Structure formats: C-alpha cells, structure tokens
Structure 1
Amino acid sequence: MNEPYKSYSVDEAKRKLEYYCSYQDRCHEEVHQKLRSLNMIPQAIDVIMAHLIEHNFLNEERFACSFARGKFRIKNYGRRRIVMELKAKGISKYNIDTALKEINDNDYIDSFNALAEKQWQSIAERNVLKKKKKLADYLLRKGFESHLVYDKMSVIDIEG
C-alpha cells in the first residue's frame, strides 16, 4: 500500500505507469485517475500521458477493442451495454464503432441464443408470462437490443 504522502519524480511515475499500462490495456481516464492518485501535478500528468501515448503504452482504440471483445466473450454483454460502459469511460464514438466491429454478427446471435436458452432453463417461475418477463429483463440488462429480445420472446410462445 502507498504511504499517504509519497511523492514520485516524473521518471518514477513514468516507469510505474508504463507497467500499469503494459499489464492491461487502459483508457485515458483510468491512467489520468491513477496519476492523480499518485499526487502528480497537472503539468507532470500531461508529460507522462504524452509519453505513454507516444510509446504506445496507451492507445484508446486498442483499449476499446479489447474491452469489447472481453466483455462480450467473458461476461456475455450485448452491444448496448458495451457501448454504455465505453461511453462512461469517455471513449470516442469513432473508437466505440471500431470496437463493435470486433464482435462477429454470427457469434453475437449464437451467444445471445445460447444465453437466452440457458437463462430460460434456470428460471424456476411456473407462470410462463412471468418467466418470459424475467428472461426479457435479464437479456435487456445484459445489453442486448430490444428487437432481439422481443423476437426471442415471440419464438418462445411458439416453442412454449
């Protein structure tokens, strides 16, 4: 744990942040917050941020793409949730659009259907309407588009 008033030279902070960024892709906001937590002055923050970008430790497009891939593959997030979280991190629309291209449409639909099926089986509700509402809410919370969710609900009517 850091001592409360430890101060870092610009070079020490650069090394620390190079490691921080090489360990995992980071967005500019995360790095900026980290530098503020190290009690760096604004001029030093600007110098270090420029250094990290120049030496490719910090690249928002790369961050956005890896974030989108990870959240989709590991957490099964839909596009809407990924977009919302990237916007919350201050990522530009251009980088968000680039990141969404990382998600293959067929994989997306397959993942959506598998997740819906798995969740449908796990819901213990006996009332079909309540069960469908729970499934729809879950899929919407995961960030899948409403037209996909409601199309799935109508298919369940036929299957159910």
Structure 2
Amino acid sequence: MLPDDEKTHLALSTLVVAVVTNRADAIDVLAGFREQLYQCMTRRPDALFELTDALLCTDGPVKTLVGPSLSPEHRRGHGAMYDALNVGRIDVESLRRQLAGLPLPRAADGRLVLAVDVSPWLRPDGNCSPQRAFCHTYGRGKDEHRMIPGWPCSIIAALETGRTS
C-alpha cells in the first residue's frame, strides 16, 4: 500500500512536515502518516487515497477535476474519482488529531517560530452568505482603507531556521 518511489515521498513531504534529521526516520514518519490518513477515510478509502496521491504528485496547479485522474498515480478511471468525491467520506476529527500529533519544525535552540497571515476573502455581494464579517482592506483606492464584507482567513505556519523556511 505504501509506494517507495521518490516522487510520492517528495510530494508527501509538502503535505506533512517531518522534523527528523535522519532520512530513514523521516520516511518512517511519512509512512506512518500515510497509514493514519488512510484510516481516516471511512468510505471509498482506496479511491480517495489514490486521488490524494494524484493531487500531490501532479506537476503544477490542479485546474480541473479531470487533471488528477490523468496522472500515473491515479490508476482508476475518472469515474472512480467522481465516485470518491461524491460518496467518499473522511473522518475529519480523526484527521485533525493525526495532523496535530505530527512533529513541528523548531529553531536551533528548540523554540517554535510561527508565521501568521490573515487574508480576507471578500464577498461584498454575498448577502445570503452565512457568517460574513467586515474585513479591513488596505489601499483599495487612493490611500483608502475600507471595511468590506467577507471572511477573514488565518494561516499559521511553523517555520524552520535557514533559507528553506
């Protein structure tokens, strides 16, 4: 179930940050995460898991649903992809626990270094959209800062030291 090819390993390392200095240990962490990810897929797990591999291994951005089904990692027909998306299920709470249990990158002295980004997803015309808030925007006119309805989205990333962060 766990392919050993280099492309899948590199693609998974973009999804999971394995903070291990030894390459063999890093592969073990990633393999363990793949097993746990598969266990979180409760309906159509094989098709969803293959679709996940296809998404991670596709070169460049995925712009259509058909794109991942054409990659070599997706060995099923495109009908299986649609079935996985329509009928497949993921236990989100279990996946959240698995992700929270992964090791975080740390600075040389052991500290966590976090970067925070808050970006608004503006929806000024979405009157029926639930839970919109007013998002502060900068420079939408000549030195004009305005409050526009939308959703503020926050991303927090743990950074490593050095140029790779």
TM superposition score normalised by structure 1? 0.29
The structure richer in helix per residue is 1
The structure richer in strand per residue is 2
Structure whose alpha-carbon radius of gyration is higher? 1
TM superposition score normalised by structure 2? 0.28
